[in-house]
């Protein structure tokens, strides 16, 4: 499939326009929408704790110890943001480990 230079330029301009739109849209959304900010922070914290758990398993710690470390990290995060009830509802098995 050969594309002419004009077609390539149209595709590149469309890509740049979409990229700029997403940059502005999500930049403003993150700055102004508190619910979205909390969602993204929770999502990133959970991913961080999951990666840390995998690293601890690779380093030779036991499964139970890694799960407890993950649960304590999540609990500490939700306690710091004054949302202990959300932690207990969302992570029932982790709250039982603590």
What phi and psi, each to the nearest 5 degrees, are found at residue 67? -65, -40
Give the pLDDT of residue 29. 85
The confidence score (pLDDT) of residue 57 equals 92
User: Which pLDDT score is estimated for 31?
Assistant: 86
Whether pTM > 0.75 for this model: the answer is: no
> To the nearest 10°, the Cα dihedral for 84, 90, 95, 96?
140
Tell me how far apart the alpha carbons of residues 17 and 19 are, in angstroms, rounded to a whole number: 5
39: nearest Cα among 26, 30, 28, 48? 30
The pLDDT tens digits for 9-62 are 999 999 999 999 999 998 888 888 899 899 999 999 999 999 999 999 999 999
Choice between 1 and 53, residue whose per-residue pLDDT is larger: 53
Distance CA 87, CA 72 (A): 11
Residue 43, pLDDT score: 95
């Amino acid at each position: 499939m050969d594309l002419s230079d004009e077609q390539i330029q149209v595709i590149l301009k469309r890509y740049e326009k979409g990229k700029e739109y997403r940059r502005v849209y999500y930049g403003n959304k993150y700055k102004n929408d508190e619910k979205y900010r909390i969602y993204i922070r929770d999502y990133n914290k959970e991913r961080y704790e999951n990666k840390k758990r995998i690293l601890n398993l690779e380093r030779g710690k036991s499964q139970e110890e890694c799960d407890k470390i993950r649960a304590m990290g999540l609990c500490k995060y939700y306690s710091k943001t004054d949302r202990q009830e959300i932690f207990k509802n969302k992570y029932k098995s982790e709250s039982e480990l603590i």
